[in-house]
Amino acid sequence: MSVHLDPETLGAGVLQPVPAVSPGTSPHQVASHHSGGRPPGALRKVAGAAGTIFRTSFFVGVSLVVGVLALERLAPIEWRPSTWLGTWAGRNDAAQILTAIEARRAEFAMQKEEESRAQQEIAALQADNQRVTDAYKGLCRGTVKNDT
């Protein structure tokens, strides 16, 4: 299968000749005759599409607000948007509070563990200090106890 493209008819009707600039014509007048490659109704089509998008989004927004208000007014309590939002906010707050409580518990446990370790070190230092004191007393009396 082959495609034959004829360069003479390719794009026929698309290109428009640019009007010649006469000596008394300003460049602005020439630019007003030339649309920059845009078809004449392109701006109208874009404006129409923008208007359609605006109208559609406006009506969807109004419908959404009316629907939410109707649900809030007519629905049972468990189906109301305010109940959903309140439940969601309450769950988020509860999760934050539980996380904070767990962090405080972990911090408290770590402090207790560190305190216990410090107490053990203090007891070991006191025992070493007592041995040194006993050895010094024994040296001063002339009798040294040999623990080993």
Give the DSSP letter string of 53-72: HHHHHHHHHHHHHHHHHHHH
- Please report the pLDDT score of residue 15 as a whole number: 52
Whether pLDDT at 35 is above 60: no
Taking residues 16-41, report their average pLDDT: 57
Reported confidence tier of residue 25, pLDDT bands at 50, 70, 90:
low
Task: Tell me the C-alpha distance between 94 and 87, whole Å.
Answer: 10
- Please report the pLDDT score of residue 130 as a whole number: 95
Taking residues 58-72, report their average pLDDT: 95
- Please report the pLDDT score of residue 117 as a whole number: 96
Helix, strand, coil percent content, the chain, rounded in steps of 5:
70, 0, 30
Reported confidence tier of residue 138, pLDDT bands at 50, 70, 90:
confident
- Please report the pLDDT score of residue 55 as a whole number: 96
Q: What is the mean pLDDT of the chain?
A: 82
- Please report the pLDDT score of residue 47 as a whole number: 87
Taking residues 95-117, report their average pLDDT: 96
- Please report the pLDDT score of residue 17 as a whole number: 55
